[in-house]
Amino acid sequence: MKKRIQSFVYAGRGIRLVGSEPNMRIHVIVAILVVIFGFFFDISITEWISCLLCIGLVFSAEMINTAIENVVDLVSPNYNELAAKAKDIAAGAVLISAIISVIIGLLIFLPKVWNLL
């Protein structure tokens, strides 16, 4: 039981550590705005699920990207083409998840904004 509790402590530490990353701060700000707009526009439960899944996807992708960057920097402190590829691919995964999330956000919120006009 103690090991299981400790694993949650380590996971919490990981969440706190990634919070200092500049890109994660941007993701957090956007997520807060999405939640505010979700309440303002009274989005449906299905739309909430979509938004929360997108937020979770982008946060998770950013955390995995940060972990990969840290490991690559640890094992390859000097420039290495394969290390650069690994970091670029991980960053690309974050970009894809963010782009898809923006598209989903536009599909949810654009009609609601349009109806206000």
**pLDDT profile of the chain (117 residues), mean per 10:** 93 94 96 98 98 98 97 96 97 98 98 93
What pLDDT does residue 115 have? 92
Sign of CA dihedral 83, 87, 88, 93: positive
Closest CA to 58 of 46, 69, 50, 70: 50
Q: Note the pLDDT tens digit of each residue in 47-80.
A: 999 999 999 999 999 999 999 999 999 999 999 9
Single-letter code of the amino acid located at 30: V
Identify the DSSP state of 78: S
What pLDDT does residue 1 have? 87
Among 47, 62, 69, 81, the one annotated catalytic = 62
Question: Strands (DSSP E) along the chain, which ranges?
Answer: none
Asked if the 2-116 domain carries CATH number 3.30.300.20, the reply is no
What pLDDT does residue 43 have? 98
Is 81 noted as a catalytic residue in this protein?
no
